[in-house]
Amino acid sequence: MPSEPPHGPFVVALAFDGAPMFELSIPAEIFGLPRPDFGADWYRFALASIDGAPVRTSHGWQLSVDGDLSLFDRADLIVIPGWRPADPALPEALRAACFAAHARGARFASICSGAFLLAELGLLDGRRATTHWLHAPRLAQRYPRVAVASDILFADSGDVLTSAGSAAGIDLLLHIVRGDYGVARANAVAKRLVLPAQREGDQRQFDDSLRAPLPSDRLAALMTRILAQPDEDWPVSRLADEAGMSLRSVARAFTTRAGCAPGTYVLKARIARARELLETTGLPVERVAQLAGFGSATSLQQSFRRQLGCAPTAYRRNFAGMPVPTPEA
């Protein structure tokens, strides 16, 4: 006897020309895959484009959809799998459909750059939200009323939810399943995907945006030296001397140029070196700490916990794919 079709929450994902295929596949996998072992109490899923016509994804593939924006009229959850950070302006029909759906109580969830669409609608004003760490500065600058958190995997504001980079969309949608159907079902879906139901750490592990500036002046040259030699002692007095500035001036200059205080910049340089060594070498953590300028494994571990939300050994497991070495005798 055929199983009864699902009659749970109706989820609609937005497809548009240039949409990222991976992000589109995430809601389809989580909400649209038949799961007869869960019975009829499970999600219904549809893919909508603005006019109901097929779309061409960012990979150049043509993708058929289930209907147009009228599907939003019945949606309990609308998933925005990416949008256009450089030009987030919305077609008026899409804007109107989103406003109407939100007004009647539909939830919205965005993946990666999909937060730009929600911000453009004003749905993130006064809320904590996230997006991919590469896009976070632009989101914060363009929408100052949004409390952008670039260090988290997802943010849940109840009726509006946002996630970081692409894979963090899986974390977010599993979180939604957990809230709708409980831990056991969320864990079952995660196991089918061969993924942890909840990942350790956060988006800070992936942010490698610290770069050496062009050596156009003494300050830029100094910042480049710090990145190259983070194991050296870099008190603010030395930084001021080498930059040819007063203590107050060098503090202002670092804040303007790097977006942080001089001491924070040195710490970021040391974190960056430790990450590189953990990813590319099998050196013991104690030796990594010394080469990166932390002095001891304890200091490195504390800094990793505060800055990246994980231990050095966990970071190595995630990014190096090599066994964690035993301490030197």
Domain assignment present for residue 324? The answer is no
The dihedral formed by the CA atoms of 174, 179, 184 and 190, expressed in degrees to the nearest 10: 0
Same-domain status, 181 and 52: yes
For residue range 168-191, list pLDDT tens digits in order: 999 999 999 999 999 889 889 988
Residue 62 has what DSSP assignment? Answer: E
Distance from C-alpha of 228 to C-alpha of 230, rounded to nearest angstrom: 6
Predicted pLDDT at 27:
97
Same-domain status, 267 and 184: no
Predicted pLDDT at 317:
82
Predicted pLDDT at 22:
93
More confident residue, 246 or 193: 246
Same-domain status, 242 and 159: no
Predicted pLDDT at 308:
80
Predicted pLDDT at 198:
63
Is the pLDDT at 201 greater than 60? The verdict is no
For residue range 117-155, list pLDDT tens digits in order: 999 999 999 999 999 988 988 999 999 999 998 778 899
SS (H, E, C) 146-158: CEECCCCCEEECC
Predicted pLDDT at 234:
95
Last residue of a domain, one of 156, 181, 206: 206
Least confident of 19-28, 186-195, 209-218, 231-240: 209-218
Same-domain status, 307 and 230: yes
Predicted pLDDT at 284:
93
Same-domain status, 200 and 227: no
> 173 — alpha (psi -120 to 50), left (phi > 0) or beta?
alpha
For the four alpha carbons of 279, 283, 287 and 291, in that order, the dihedral sign comes to: negative
Select the highest-mean-pLDDT range: 96-100, 140-144, 195-199, 261-265. Answer: 96-100
Work out the average pLDDT over 225-230: 91
Domain assignment present for residue 212? The answer is no
Predicted pLDDT at 153:
86
More confident residue, 260 or 64: 64
More confident residue, 1 or 290: 290
Domain assignment present for residue 131? The answer is yes
Predicted pLDDT at 328:
34
Predicted pLDDT at 305:
87
Same-domain status, 138 and 31: yes
Is the pLDDT at 311 greater than 70? The verdict is yes
Element (H, E) at 226: helix 218-228
Same-domain status, 19 and 138: yes
Distance from C-alpha of 247 to C-alpha of 237, rounded to nearest angstrom: 7
Domain assignment present for residue 143? The answer is yes
Domain assignment present for residue 5? The answer is no
Domain assignment present for residue 213? The answer is no
The owner of tokens 């809601």 is 27
Is the pLDDT at 312 greater than 50? The verdict is yes
The owner of tokens 């879906």 is 189
Domain assignment present for residue 229? The answer is yes
Distance from C-alpha of 298 to C-alpha of 205, rounded to nearest angstrom: 19
Domain of residue 303, CATH code:
1.10.10.60
The candidate with the shortest Cα–Cα distance to 159, out of 185, 124, 133, is 124
Same-domain status, 37 and 140: yes
For residue range 44-89, list pLDDT tens digits in order: 999 999 999 999 998 899 999 999 999 999 999 999 999 999 898 9
State percent of the chain over pLDDT 70.
90
Is the pLDDT at 269 greater than 70? The verdict is yes
Kindly indicate the confidence band of residue 206, based on its pLDDT and cuts at 50, 70 and 90: very low
Same-domain status, 309 and 246: yes
Same-domain status, 179 and 76: yes
Tokens at 129, concatenated: 């939200």
Number of independent structural domains in the chain: 2
Predicted pLDDT at 293:
95
Is the pLDDT at 203 greater than 60? The verdict is no
Is the pLDDT at 32 greater than 90? The verdict is yes
Domain of residue 71, CATH code:
3.40.50.880
Distance from C-alpha of 117 to C-alpha of 88, rounded to nearest angstrom: 6
Domain assignment present for residue 25? The answer is yes
Phi and psi angles of residue 218, each rounded to the nearest 5 degrees, phi first:
-65, -35
Last residue of a domain, one of 158, 174, 206: 206
Last residue of a domain, one of 180, 206, 232: 206
Same-domain status, 195 and 229: no
Q: How many CA atoms lie within 13 A of 204 on its CB side?
A: 19
Same-domain status, 47 and 188: yes
Predicted pLDDT at 200:
55
What domain range is 186 assigned to? 10-206
